């Protein structure tokens, strides 16, 4: 088992047992943190909901707007007028956390990103994310865009429960777009045997964040780490923490 790496002094973490709905371990799980690209899990939640409601389908073609094309890195270098399907955008977010794909989905679901943010916050309230405030669809740092490890666990659980078919997409390790193969930068997903998926995140303000779902036999866990100081420490800490409870 890897040693539990040291994150920053202010990191937050939580391990949740899905089967009995118990928190197995937590540190600062209710402290406000910057979510970075963990925000995109809500972007995907609302997209999955729109697909389930028949407002979109996987093959719906989305036209790249100027706002989408001008998103900061990390993105897919889309140009105005390019076409992206809903499924491509979903996989691009899961595998590579493309910011332009997040905004194109926001525009498809909410007409524009600002209206989409309203939907994000309404859904957060509905799901009981009591200490989460969304300000954009990508996770770019905004001083008012904050969350907690506990709230991110609840969002992960909601995706698992409400969209079981789409949840399996989070296990995707690579996808093809415009003839190029993109590989996941979620090393816990690719390297840890029991990981099922979820989402990475990083900004300078947030540090390194990671939501992970893992299952071994009957053991079913959700683990959140926010504000780790280095990507290697975050991944080692996550794997060590999961091993701690999956190997019991």
Q: Annotated active-site positions, please? A: 37, 40, 97
Structure tokens at 229: 């100081």
29: helix, strand or coil? coil
Please choose, from the candidates 168, 165, 56, the residue with its C-alpha nearest in 3D space to the C-alpha of residue 106.
56
186: helix, strand or coil? coil
Q: Are 89 and 53 in contact (CB under 8 A)?
A: no
N-terminal to C-terminal alpha carbon distance within the chain: 12
Sequence-ordered list of residues with C-beta below 8 angstroms from that of 3, at least 6 positions apart, any chain: 236, 240
Please state the length of the chain.
Answer: 248
Q: Are 155 and 41 in contact (CB under 8 A)?
A: yes
Please choose, from the candidates 45, 163, 139, the residue with its C-alpha nearest in 3D space to the C-alpha of residue 147.
139
- Cα 211 to Cα 15: distance, rounded to the nearest angstrom: 10
Q: Are 184 and 95 in contact (CB under 8 A)?
A: yes
């Amino acid at each position: 088992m890897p040693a539990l790496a040291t994150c920053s002094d202010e990191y937050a973490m939580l391990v949740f047992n899905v089967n009995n709905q118990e928190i197995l371990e937590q540190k600062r799980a209710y402290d406000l943190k910057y979510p970075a690209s963990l925000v995109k899990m809500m972007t995907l939640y609302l997209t999955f909901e729109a697909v389930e409601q028949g407002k979109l389908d996987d093959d719906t073609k989305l036209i790249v707007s100027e706002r989408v094309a001008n998103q900061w890195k990390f993105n897919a270098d889309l140009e105005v007028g390019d076409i992206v399907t809903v499924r491509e955008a979903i996989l691009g977010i899961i595998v590579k956390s493309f910011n332009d794909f997040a905004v194109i989905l926001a525009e498809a679901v909410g007409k524009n990103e600002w209206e989409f943010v309203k939907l994000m916050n309404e859904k957060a309230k509905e799901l009981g994310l009591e200490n989460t405030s969304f300000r954009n669809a990508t996770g770019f740092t905004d001083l008012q865009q904050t969350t907690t490890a506990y709230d991110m666990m609840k969002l992960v659980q909601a995706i698992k429960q409400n969209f079981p078919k789409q949840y399996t997409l989070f296990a995707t390790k690579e996808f093809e777009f415009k003839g190029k193969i993109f590989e996941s930068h979620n090393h816990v997903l690719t390297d840890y045997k029991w990981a099922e998926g979820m989402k990475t995140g990083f900004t300078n303000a947030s540090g390194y964040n990671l939501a992970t779902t893992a299952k071994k036999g009957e053991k079913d866990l959700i683990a959140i780490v926010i504000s780790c100081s280095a990507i290697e420490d975050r991944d080692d800490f996550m794997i060590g923490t999961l091993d701690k409870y999956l190997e019991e």
